[in-house]
Amino acid sequence: MSGGEAGLPVHERFTIRERLGSGGMGVVYAAHGELVGGVAGATEVEAANAWMRQEQILRPGRMTAMLAPGFD
């Protein structure tokens, strides 16, 4: 996805609300699900962060480079 401006529709299913952050694996946005309603993204990001903390993954970009060299 390019851009990232608030209010931008994505595939007619979500509308970007705000940029949450970025890192070695890309940019994460909070989005509103237009089909079922509610905030999409933030819950998934927190679940992924909790899993990475549990697994002691401190640098996910580095882990990706080890598992899939050349993938960016």
Say what the pTM is.
Answer: 0.40
The domains of the chain are located at: 9-67
Select the more confidently predicted residue: 8 or 2.
8
What are 11-70's pLDDT values in tens digits? Answer: 667 788 888 888 777 788 887 777 666 666 666 777 788 888 898 888 887 877 888 887
Angle at 23 between CA 2 and CA 52, to 5 degrees: 125
What contacts 26, CB < 8 A, 6 or more positions away? none
